[in-house]
Homo-oligomer: A and B are copies of this chain.
Amino acid sequence: MVKEYELLTAETVPAYVASMLNLADKVDASTLVAEEVGDGNLNLVFVARDAAGGGICIKQSLPYVRLVGEAWPLTPERVVAEARGYSAAAEASPDDIPVVYGYDDSRYTLAMENLHDLVIWRTALNDGIMHPGVGAQMGRFVARIAFSTSLFKMDAGELKERVAESINPELCKITEDLVFTEPYGDYANNGVQPGVEAAVKDIQSDATLVANVGMLKTKFMTSAEMLLHGDLHSGSVMVTVDKDEPYGKVIDPEFCFYGPVGFDLGALFGNYLAARARAEVLDRSDEFRTWVGQLPQETWEAFEAEMWKLWPSRSEAALTDEFLALWLRSVLRDAAGFGGCKAIRRIIGLAKVSDIETLEGDDHVKAATAVLRVGARWIKERDSIMGSTRLGEIASEELART
């Protein structure tokens, strides 16, 4: 049962901020001007600046899915999950997220650092702008949270308690439906532009593929390895406009819950793939295409290196170095599979991505078709993927073929 609460508007944000004691030292509420900038699917997002140049960001959960409207109700308690995700990240890897000032459970808002100098990474990727090192940063970020929230660092009893308190069934159901179920069947949310139908039919009629997606779905639903971000695509990362010292900040962990490590990595891989397909059909510079093409490998290698770096401080001494090597191989396989699912859903299902949707005509058909084919191969061939370079090779093969 959702209690009644008032939704903020750009006009009411300054008074709201003024009413929150813990925000008094962040901005001068009396000169604050706010703007609604949310382009996500589930929330209102306000950025507000004061006369002295100070800023703050207020995110408010809507009681329904913004993309669909009030016909799809959703409890706003997901802000608790988001606060939990930020809190785990603040402990394990604080530089990779905005500073969170606090959350207000009466209005379902989260107040945080205003990242006014940063832009959504997807936008930068769409515009052909390189951010060297951000892919590696993402790999380290996932590794640090994977390590600190899993049994590698946490006592088994504590882990079980954390898993239990972190369940997030409503948001997980969105992923279960939109990522793992709907793209493979006849659902109202699905739809593609003309010319892509044949590739969709190939996906939906491939019984082996659909069975493997089922395996990944059940793994997503039952494997509680780490506190996942849960929605770690290139729209959940903000990057610097300044390209001299590029870095990113991860935002929007409201889907956070205990799930399989490979899922966050796969979300990155699947969205890198969309960016790469766009770069190829738009014939971006060699430098950009090479860079975007190696992103899965860059993220994976940084993930792997960070896990090895953290490994000596594990609390589970019975787990050996040979174990970590085996475990990393299985995470890579999972990441390939989840990456494929994430790529496919962005073409067929609800919540498409601008990387592909803003392409027109043959460019669109070519990019969308290639993403579907690569996604299907990442899923079906995942058990034979021995190194992250293989992800890029499969993508190159299918991009050349379409």
Contact = CB atoms under 8 A, between A and B. Distances in A.
A310 interface: no
Contact of A156 (B156, B173, B184): B173
Given A172-B160, A330-B215, A222 B221 contact: no
A172 B165 CA distance: 18
Given A318-B185, A322-B210, A218 B151 contact: yes
B214 A318 contact: yes
Main secondary structure of the interface of A (DSSP, over half): helix
Nearest to A219: B223
A320 interface: yes
B207 A320 contact: yes
A74 interface: no
Number of copies: 2
A176 B156 contact: yes
Interface in A312-354: 318-320, 322-323, 325-327, 330
Contacts of A150: 222
Contacts of A27: none
A93 interface: no
A212 interface: yes
A215 B326 contact: yes
Contact of A323 (B151, B156, B210, B327): B210
Contacts of A212: 326
A320 to B, nearest CB: 6
Interface in A189-236: 207-208, 210-212, 214-215, 217-218, 221-225
Interface string A142-164: 00000000110000110111011
A181 interface: yes
A355 to B, nearest CB: 27
A167 B161 contact: yes
A211 B159 contact: no
A170 interface: yes
A169 interface: yes
Interface in A293-310: none
Contact of A320 (B167, B169, B210, B319): B210
Given A156-B176, A184-B318, A214-B323, 16 more contacts: A151-B218, A157-B170, A160-B167, A160-B172, A163-B164, A164-B164, A208-B322, A212-B326, A214-B319, A215-B323, A215-B330, A217-B319, A218-B319, A218-B327, A222-B223, A222-B225
25 contacts: A150-B222, A151-B221, A156-B169, A156-B173, A156-B176, A157-B169, A157-B170, A159-B221, A160-B169, A160-B172, A161-B167, A161-B169, A164-B164, A181-B318, A184-B318, A207-B320, A211-B325, A214-B319, A214-B320, A214-B326, A215-B330, A218-B225, A218-B319, A222-B223, A222-B225
